[in-house]
Amino acid sequence: MNTASRKTVAATAIAVGIAQGAVWIVLCVVLVKVVPRFEKVFIEFNVGLPGITRLLIILTHALTRYWFVVLPAILLWPLVSWGVVSLLSPSPEVALPRRLWYVLTWLAPMLFAAFTVVALFLPLSSLTAALSG
């Protein structure tokens, strides 16, 4: 385990952290810009919202209210990723903990994006069915 391979692992961890931070920023922009528009439509048509949609709306309101906490957390994420990778596998030859960390941290935004789509689709599909029938 030489210093060159340690530097490569550290650089990879920071690069992955930056990419993940960018994904979270895109998701936050979607929450702040798209979800309130859907919320207005649901209010105008007096649509009963399922719990998952109400939770998404609550998360959106919390994000817009506490952006000053969320934004630094996202911007610091590359350093957090580097720190966790350094703690999980101090030896560059031990790749399994790093790979698990990367998979889990990439899975989180993808699951949150799926959660957002489902939360908006459920009341929208019932609204569309009510308007067409």
Number of compact structural domains in the chain: 1
Would you state the pLDDT for residue 91?
73
Query: How high does pLDDT run on average in the chain?
Result: 88
Residue 132 lies in a domain: no
Highest mean pLDDT among 13-17, 30-34, 77-81, 100-104: 30-34
pLDDT digits (tens, 9 = 90+) for 3-18: 777 788 888 888 888 9
Residue 133 lies in a domain: no
Q: Is the CB of residue 127 less than 8 Å from the CB of residue 45?
A: yes
* Amino acid code (one letter) for 51: G
105: which residues sit within 8 A by CB, 6+ positions away? 16, 20, 81
Largest CA distance in the chain: 68
Residue 102 lies in a domain: yes
What domain range is 16 assigned to? 3-127
**Average pLDDT of the residues in 116-125:** 92
Residue 47 lies in a domain: yes
End-to-end CA distance of the chain: 67
Confidence of residue 115 (pLDDT cuts 50, 70, 90): very high
pLDDT higher than 60, residue 1: no
Residue 49 lies in a domain: yes
Residue 87 lies in a domain: yes
Residue 24 lies in a domain: yes
pLDDT higher than 60, residue 129: yes
Query: Which structure tokens are listed for 35?
Result: 């979800």
Residue 77 lies in a domain: yes
pLDDT higher than 90, residue 90: no
Percent of the chain with pLDDT over 90: 50
The dihedral formed by the CA atoms of 57, 59, 62 and 64, expressed in degrees to the nearest 10:
-70
